[in-house]
A and B are shown apart, each in its own frame.
Chain A
């Protein structure tokens, strides 16, 4: 007996790492999710060489959607160069032969954690968001089978009650990220922990957004030209973060979502959160190819 007789003959790994049946299942579930915008579709989340909770849901969707012509961008909290984003990007290009980019305008597929890029996405682009907790009702209804029933009944009064409580106790809506949003007037979804700043970018967008939770095994989607309305009271308007007047200390960009960086003296300085936007702004004087595209926000105001 030798090692060779005990082991299988060498075979190439399936294209895009996942086996064909896994990808077929994911495609079917994505189609379902697109057909019923905002409704969570369960799927069999596979093992990938990454720990659950680090973007396995997004990774599986990306692996399924990618082909050798894809140009992929991976961001983590807006940055292309963070460890998580870099290793996912490396893995994706290695198993699919696709090209990688940092530029939002060049990408055809963008996998993201916690941010939507500042430059407008087009109809040829797909945004894949990694979702840690897909259930918006979890904070108000810990029993998931009752939560499913509440979705079926479109009974979202408890979500408004949560906002009511926040306003009564704190004087304003405290929900910072994962702001519950009504999709297509029917299902309330949590748009993954993107800041309030990014939620309007999903409303009547040109691009397709797929949100996937690997650990929780749920996929949902916002197809192009679909209403995404944050839950608000009719007399308390929806407010995004007050970043409109802040200037980035490195790129001098103004009016975009910023990362706050604490200084030694107790003050804060700010850097633009969409790191490649900052890079482009820095390089633009020398390199004409580094032009910033049309952005959703202009001068810190929603432009449309």
Chain B
């Protein structure tokens, strides 16, 4: 089978909704480097989409675009959150910022990227609520502790600055911050990379529980197939800026069609 052949399996039949996230034809170059080459993605409400691929495959670039942090050279991006569904890449900077702060939550691999390390943990969560216009101190406290509680953060430490916390706790603060406004879309960029295996399992456990309780739509980027296997419903395999294979997780991992995916699934130390 040729390596460049793309395989696509149709969406499962029971999904009758419109996709919550719909990206088409995204391309992005950095100088001579093609980061994304006509990539499309659909995520359905309540679904968890995993994106796997090696370093430099474009998965993080794609996630940054989903978070509206970066614009592509071409392509469209629609989110099914309001009756009007404009192409988000066509909106002005301010409108994008508003939409992003209200409807999209993100957890970064590196907590320094997503958190104010010297502010209190509850303050980090409160910032999101403040952006949304909450101006009552009591409500801020209550909502921040709710969000921290939902991400299974020990509440007696809610006023400790993240810099004093362990890696796993920092990720929980990030998660609380991301879900504080009950976003339509939660993006996770290698959320458990760099954590030791037992902490990783606990954080994934929290994520899984949140996903089941709140039916949050998630996109999770990871190079760890184990993480994708536990978390995701569907998986997209990326390589050199292209989607080489996508489908249900079990399907893809049990019976990989593309040569690269086969290599990936069988790769063992």
Question: Which residues from 110 to 155 on chain A have a C-beta closer than 8 Å to any C-beta of chain B?
Answer: 153, 155
Q: Does B135 interact with chain A (Cβ within 8 Å)?
A: yes
Chain B's closest residue to A156 (CB) is B130
* Contact A157–B120 (Cβ < 8 Å): no
Main secondary structure of the interface of B (DSSP, over half): helix
Chain-B contact segment, one of A161-169, A187-195, A210-218, A296-304? A161-169
B60 at interface (Cβ–Cβ under 8 A)?
Answer: no
> Are A234's CB and B136's CB within 8 A?
yes
Chain B minimum-CB-distance residue to A163:
B137
A161 and B124 alpha carbons, distance in the complex (Å): 8
Interfacial chain A residues near B138, Cβ < 8 Å? 235
Chain A residues with Cβ below 8 Å from B122 are 168
Complex Cα distance, B138 from A155, in Å, reads 22
List chain A residues, Cβ under 8 A from B137.
Answer: 164, 167, 233-236
- A143 CA to B138 CA, complexed, in Å: 31
What chain A residues lie within 8 Å of B127 (beta carbons)?
Answer: 157-158, 161
Per DSSP, chain A at the interface is helix
Whole-angstrom CA separation of A157 from B136 in the bound complex: 13
Per-residue contact bits, chain A 85-109, to B (CB 8 Å; 1 contact, 0 not): 0000000000000000000000000
B191 within 8 A of A: no
Q: How far is the CA of A164 from the CA of B134 in the complex (A)?
A: 12
Per the bound structure, the CA–CA distance linking A234 and B123 in Å amounts to 17
Contact B119 A161 (CB under 8 A): yes
Does A238 belong to the interface (CB within 8 Å)? no
Q: B131–A165 contact, CB under 8 A?
A: no
User: Does any Cβ of A come within 8 Å of B70's Cβ?
Assistant: no
| B255 on interface, CB distance cutoff 8 Å | no
* Bound Cα distance A164, B122 (Å): 9
Cα of A155 to Cα of B130 in the assembled complex, Å: 10
Interface residue from A155, A158, A235 paired with B136 (Cβ < 8 Å): A235
Inter-chain CA distance A169–B135, complex, in Å, is: 18
Query: Using a CB-CB cutoff of 8 Å, which residues 220-253 of chain A contact chain B?
Result: 233-236
Q: Is B126 close to A, CB under 8 A?
A: yes
Q: Could you tell me the distance in whole angstroms from the C-beta of A17 to the nearest C-beta in chain B?
A: 43
Given A164-B140, A167-B137, A235-B136, decide whether A155 and B131 contact each other with a Cβ distance below 8 A.
yes
Q: What distance in Å separates the Cβ of B114 from its nearest Cβ neighbour in chain A?
A: 15
Contact between chains at B130 and A160 (CB < 8 Å): yes
CB distance from B91 to the nearest CB of A (A): 14
Chain A residues whose CB sits within 8 angstroms of the CB of B159 once the complex forms: 168-169
Which chain B residue shows the least CB distance to A233?
Answer: B137
Q: What's the Cα separation between A236 and B122 when bound, in Å? A: 18
Q: Indicate if the CB atoms of A234 and B97 lie closer than 8 Å.
A: no
Interface residue tally for chain B (C-beta within 8 Å)? 17
B14 in contact (CB, < 8 A) = no
Nearest-neighbor residue (CB-CB) of A140 within chain B = B116
Chain A residues within 8 Å of B119, by CB: 161, 165
CB distance from A139 to the nearest CB of B (A): 12
Q: Roughly how many angstroms separate A155 CA and B97 CA in the complex, as a whole number?
A: 10
Q: Which of A153, A155, A165, A233 touches B123 (beta carbons < 8 Å)?
A: A165
Q: Are B94 and A153 touching (Cβ within 8 A)?
A: yes
**How many whole Å from B49's CB to the nearest CB in chain A?**
30
Q: With a CB–CB cut-off of 8 A, which chain B residues contact A164? A: 123, 126, 130, 137, 140
Residues facing A in B133-181 (CB within 8 A) are 135-138, 140, 159
Check if B135 sits within 8 Å of A161, measured CB to CB: no
Select A169's contact among B97, B120, B126, beta carbons within 8 Å.
B120
Taking a contact as CB atoms closer than 8 A, the residue among A153, A168, A236 that contacts B120 in the complex is A168
For A234, what are the chain B residues with a Cβ–Cβ distance below 8 Å?
135-137
Q: Could you say which residues of chain A place their CB within 8 Å of the CB of B94?
A: 153
Query: Are B120 and A160 interface neighbours, CB within 8 A?
Result: no
CA distance A169 to B122 in the complex (A): 11
Q: How far is the CA of A49 from the CA of B123 in the complex (A)?
A: 46
B109 CB → nearest A CB, Å:
23
Set A153, A168, A233: member contacting B97, Cβ < 8 A: A153
Across the interface, B131 reaches (CB within 8 A) one of A157, A167, A235, namely A157
Min distance, Cβ A2 to any Cβ of chain B, angstroms: 65
Residue of B nearest to A154 (CB): B94
Q: How far is the CA of A155 from the CA of B119 in the complex (A)?
A: 18
Complex-state Cα separation, A161 to B123, whole angstroms: 7
Chain B residue contacts of A153, Cβ below 8 A: 94, 97
- Separation of A164 and B129 alpha carbons in the complex (Å): 12
CA distance A153 to B93 in the complex (A): 10
The answer to whether B135 and A160 have CB atoms under 8 Å apart is yes
Q: Smallest CB–CB gap between B164 and chain A, Å?
A: 14
| Bound: A168/B160 CA distance, A | 10
Could you jot down 9 A-B contacts, CB within 8 Å?
A: A157-B130, A158-B127, A161-B116, A161-B130, A167-B137, A169-B120, A233-B135, A234-B136, A235-B137
3 A-B pairs with the lowest CB-CB distances in the bound complex, closest first: A157-B130, A233-B137, A157-B131
